[in-house]
Amino acid sequence: MSSSVTPSPIRSVTLAQPFTDQKPGTSGLRKSSLQFQTPHYLESFIEASLRVIPGVAGGTLVVGGDGRYGNRSAIDVIARMAAAHGVTRLVTTTGGILSTPAASHLIRSRGAIAGIILSASHNPGGPEGDFGVKINGANGGPAPESLTDAVYAATQSLEGYRIAEAEPLNLDQPGEQRIGDLVVEVIDGVSDYVALMQKLFDFDRIASLLRSDFRLAFDAMHAVTGPYASRLFEGLLGAPSGTVRNGLPLEDFGGGHPDPNLTYAAELADLLLKGNDYAFGAACDGDGDRNMILGRACFVNPSDSLAVLTANATLVPGYAKGLTGVARSMPTSAAVDVVAEGLGIACFETPTGWKFFGNLLDASRITLCGEESFGTGSDHIREKDGLWAVLFWLNILAVRGCSVAEVMAEHWNRFGRHYYSRHDYEAIASDAAHGLYNRIKAMLPDLVGQPFAGRTIATADDFAYTDPVDGSITIGQGLRLLLDDGSRVVLRLSGTGTQGATLRVYLESYVPPSGNLHQDPQAALADLIHAIDALAEIRTRTGMERPTVIT
C-alpha cells in the first residue's frame, strides 16, 4: 500500500491553561482512559515530549502500543503532531500493535531518535480502564529521568500545541503514507522481533521439544503478545493450534487484568498446578515485557527464574560464550547473587526501574538482568522481554531434557533456596499508605539490634544507589530490614496504579543446600509475615485482612 494523506496547513491550538498533573513516572504517564480523552490532554503531553526529545526535526520516531482502548486514535494524533514538528519518518505497525520489547528493538535497529509506546502495562484497559504513554530513548530503553523531568517542566508552562490536519491513517496493512513531509511507514510489527529471537535461540531444538509429548500452554491475556506468540509457537515452532490462549488483542483485554501472576492468570495456573496435561505454561502482560513461568505442579518465582537463566545461560546459543555480569533490582531476592558468585561474574543491586539496567547494559557491564515483578531481560534490547524469557526457558528444557520441577530442584540442591514472596496491598487510601510507610521510615534508626521474627535486625535503611557508570545517586528506594541470618523484609510504595496507592511487602529467607529446601514458601515465611504485620500495623492501618495479591 502506498498513498498520500494530504494535510491542510498546520494548526496551532491555544490552551486556556496547562495541564499540571502530567508528571511521568518510571513507566511513563499513566492515567485513566477517561482522563486521556479530556480535550487536549494527550496532545499536551505529546507536544511537551516533542519539544524536548533530541533530534526531532529530521528524525525517525517509532510509535505503537498494546492495542488497548484509545491506541489507534492516539497513534493518529501523534503522527499528525510529529508532522507538525518536522519528524521525517514515523514507523508504526499494522493495527498499531507493538509490544514494548519489540518497540525497543525497532528503535535500535532503525536508528530512531525515540519511541512513543502507548500502554499502561499490566493495568486493565477499556473505556473504564487505564491508558499510558511512555517515552523510550534512542538506546531503546526507558527515557532517563533528565528527559522525563524536561517533559514535565514543559507541560507546566505549555501555552499550546501544533498539529497537522489529515485524514485518519490506514493501519490495516503494511505500506507508506504521507502527512506533508512526514513518511508514515506501517510495518508488520512481528517479523523484526521474531528474526531477533531466531538469532538468540535454537529454534530447531525447541521445535523438536514442542513436537514431542511436551504440551505447552501460553496465555496472551488478550494483550499484545498474542500475534507474536502465535507466529513463534504455532507457526515457526510447530506447536498445535490452540497452544496460544486468549491470543486476540482486545481493547479491554477481554475484561481481564493483563498481569501474569497466579491471581490474574488463575486459569493457566490451574492447568499447570492442578492438572497433569501440560508440561509448561507461560503468560505475558499487557505490553509484553513481563512473564510468568510454570511447570507441572511448579510455579517459578521470578527471582528464581533470573537465577536459573543465569546458571544455564551457556546452553543457549546467544549466550554460549558466557555472561559479563548480571543485575537485579533491590526488591528482587538474592538468588542470582549466589549464582553470580559461583560463576565468578559481577552482580549489581539497583533501584527498581529498567533504566538503571540500561546504563549497565550500554556500558557492557552486564548481560542478563531482572526484577521480581515478573521482568527479565538481556543485552539484546533495553527493556524486559516476556517472550524472550519463555523461549529461554524452553531452550534450557530442550537441551537438558528434564522438567521445570527437576530444573528447580537441581538448582536449589546446588545453590540453596531463597524462600521469597511479595504481598501487594492494592488501592489503599493514599493518606493511610503514606502514613504507614513514613512511620516505619522514621523508626529505622531505632530498629537496629531489635528482635524480629526470632532473629535480630542487623541493618535498617532506606535503600540508596550510586550508579557505577555515571555516578548518579538515587535515594528513597525502599525500606529494608536486613536480619542477622541473611533474611530480610522490604517495604515499598508503588506508583504504577491510578487509584490509591499500593503497598508492596517483600519477604525473603535463605536456606542453604543442606537445609529443608522443599517447604511451602508462605509457611517458610510465616514468622516474617506476622512480624512485619505487627511492626508496621498493616491490617490496622489499611483495613485489609489479607493482601490483594500474593506472589
Q: What is the CA radius of gyration of the chain?
A: 23
Most distant CA atoms of the chain, gap in Å: 74
Residue tagged 534490547 (cell numbers): 381
Candidates 291, 534, 543, 551; CA nearest to 427 is: 543
In order of 138, 435, 442, 445, the CA distances from 439 in angstroms are 41, 6, 5, 12
Query: Which ranges of 233-301 would DSSP assign to H, the alpha helix?
Result: 266-273
Distance CA 384, CA 370 (A): 7
Choose the catalytic residue: 99, 104, 121, 509.
Answer: 121
Give yes or no for a contact between 509 and 525, defined as CB atoms under 8 angstroms apart: yes
Cβ-based neighbour number of residue 268 at 10 Å: 23
How many Cβ atoms sit within 10 Å of the Cβ of residue 470? 9
Question: Measured between alpha carbons, how far is 363 from 327 in angstroms, rounded to an integer?
Answer: 13
Question: DSSP for 451-488?
Answer: EETTEEEEEEEE--EE-TTT--EE----EEEEETTS-E
What is the grid cell recorded at 248?
486476540
Taking alpha carbons only, the member of 85, 107, 89 closest to residue 98 is 107
HSE-CB of 315 using CA atoms within 13 angstroms? 18
* Long-range CB pairs of 515-519, under 8 A, 24+ apart, other chains included: 515/416, 515/417, 517/409, 517/412, 517/413, 517/416, 517/417, 518/409, 519/419
Strands 346-350 and 325-329: parallel
Decide: residue 16, CB within 10 A, 0-12 exposed, 13-18 middle, 19+ buried: exposed
Answer yes or no: are the C-beta atoms of 455 and 470 closer than 8 Å.
Answer: no
Residue 25: DSSP 8-state? B
Cα–Cα distances (Å) from 252 to 128, 264, 498, in that order, read: 9, 14, 16
Phi, psi of 44, rounded to the nearest 5 degrees: -65, -45
DSSP 185-248: EEE-TTHHHHHHHHHHS-HHHHHHHHTTT--EEEE-TTSTHHHHHIIIIIIIS-PPTTSEES-S
Q: Are 227 and 133 in contact (CB under 8 A)?
A: no
Q: What single-letter DSSP state applies at residue 234? A: I
Cell of 535: 511492626
Does 121 participate in catalysis according to the annotation? yes
Amino acid in the structure at residue 316: V
CA angle 250-254-257, nearest 5°?
105
Can you count the helices (H) and strands (E) in the chain? 18, 27
Residue 252 identity: D
- Residues tagged active-site: 121
